[in-house]
Amino acid sequence: KAGVTQTPRYLIKTRGQQVTLSCSPISGHRSVSWYQQTPGQGLQFLFEYFSETQRNKGNFPGRFSGRQFSNSRSEMNVSTLELGDSALYLCASNRGGSTDTQYFGPGTRLTVL
Amino acid sequence: KQEVTQIPAALSVPEGENLVLNCSFTDSAIYNLQWFRQDPGKGLTSLLLIQSSQREQTSGRLNASLDKSSGRSTLYIAASQPGDSATYLCAVIRETSGSRLTFGEGTQLTVNP
């Protein structure tokens, strides 16, 4: 069974640009969550999508947005990039229940110059 | 607001030693607690999931316990090996937060040969 995949694995952007990250969950998983990991803030929750609907949202500005497609694949978009957006972005998937094990992808390393 | 704390922040032990990592959380209204391992620059690997109704879970040399009433969990690693060197993270899911995980800051473990 294939694991969670994320593309691209590495990105370098400049301030002011926008970026789109992609996450493909494990087959059969309907929930996809996104997290930002930085040395200073640790792992911070961005948002969760379940059956194409945003189910939960963290405390990030509106520049961070996401969506989920009918095949459960999810994308995250960050507009008007700032230096502080440099981070490892991780997505996780599970079947959708709060008691289910969550499985993480390898992450996308975003560097903003 | 749920807060998760992990002690110690870093730990260095000789190979073969048994060790305990600690995790505490402030809100006992949780669905489950999950322990993860993260190697440098990589994604998270799920180690153990403990449901709120359970007291412990075991996988190989790993044993995790949960005391929901006191807001504490421990991860016990038996006969540690250099390959166990990584950052260990605990995370909880609150009863009202879907699949949203709240993470601790992690314990960085080094096992010396």
Residue B15, φ and ψ in degrees, nearest 5: -55, 140
User: Is A76 buried (19+), middle (13-18) or exposed (0-12) by CB count in 10 A?
Assistant: buried
Does B103 sit within 8 Å of A58, measured CB to CB? no
B83 CB within 8 Å of a chain A CB:
no
pLDDT greater at residue A98 or residue A54: A54
A6 within 8 A of A23, measured Cβ to Cβ: yes
How do residues B33-55 score in pLDDT, each as one tens digit? 999 999 998 899 999 999 989 99
Going by pLDDT thresholds of 50, 70 and 90, the confidence category of residue A54 is very high
The three-state secondary structure class of B106 is: coil
A108 CB within 8 Å of a chain B CB:
no
pLDDT averaged over chain A? 95
B43 CB within 8 Å of a chain A CB:
yes
User: Is A12 buried (19+), middle (13-18) or exposed (0-12) by CB count in 10 A?
Assistant: exposed
Mean pLDDT of B27-31: 86
